[in-house]
Amino acid sequence: MKVGVLLLAAGGSSRLGRAKQLLMHQGKTLVRRAAEAAVEVGCGPVVAVLGAQAEAVAAELNRLPVQTVRNEDWEEGLGNSLRVGLRAFDTREPAGSGSEVDAVLVLLCDQFRVDASHLRALVKAFQRTNKPIVASGYEGTRGVPALFSRSLFPELEAIAPDQGARKVIAREPSRVVEVMLEGGGEDVDTTADLQRLR
C-alpha cells in the first residue's frame, strides 16, 4: 500500500501573532521537524500545503523530498488546505498510472510530540486492520495525525473550509482504529504554549 503524507502548514497563527511553522524547537523550525518525520516514514510521497509566509516556510523545506503546493485561500481555514493538499496527490501522476496513493496521512506542524515512530505506527495499524481511518488518541478524543483511506477522500474534500478532519473521524466510530499519542494535545496556539515549548 502506498500512503502519502499531507503536511498542513498554511495557517497564519492569528492567536499567536506570528507563523508557528517558523518557531524553533530543539534547533529546528516546527515545519522542518514535521517534514523530516514525514519523509522518514518512507511510505509514499510527501506534500506540504503552504499559505501564510509561504516563501519563508518553503525555504525551511529545502533539500527535502517534499512537494509544496500553495493555498491562496489559506485564510478560509484548515478544511480548505486539506482539499488543496488532497487534490495535489491526484494531480501528481496521470489517472490510472498505478501510482495513486491508497491513503493519506494528515498531520500538522505544531504537534511537537509527533515523531516518525508514531507516524509509522499509524501506517502499520492501517496495513494490519485495513480500517478506513487510523487516528491518534489523546485527551479523550481522536484527531490528527490521522490516516484516511482513499475511499474517504470525497468526505474530506466536502469538509467546510473552517473545519478540520476531526468531523470525519467522529462521524462513524466503528470505522476508526485508534493509536495512542502521549501528549498529543500539546500544540502551539498561544504565547503561553510557546513558553512551555521553550
Do residues 197 and 123 make contact, with C-beta atoms less than 8 angstroms apart? no
Gap between the Cα atoms of 191 and 15, Å rounded: 8
Gap between the Cα atoms of 113 and 139, Å rounded: 13
Do residues 147 and 126 make contact, with C-beta atoms less than 8 angstroms apart? yes
Gap between the Cα atoms of 61 and 50, Å rounded: 11
The domain ranges of the chain are: 3-197
How does pLDDT run along the chain (198 residues), one tens digit per residue?
899 999 999 987 655 656 788 888 888 999 999 999 999 999 999 999 999 999 999 999 999 999 999 999 999 999 999 999 999 997 655 444 445 899 999 999 888 789 999 999 999 999 999 999 999 999 899 999 999 999 999 999 999 999 999 999 999 999 999 999 987 776 666 556 666 655
Which helix (H) or strand (E) segment holds residue 51: the answer is none
Determine whether domain 3-197 maps to CATH 3.90.550.10.
yes
Helices (H), 65-136: 78-92, 116-129
pTM, entire model: 0.90
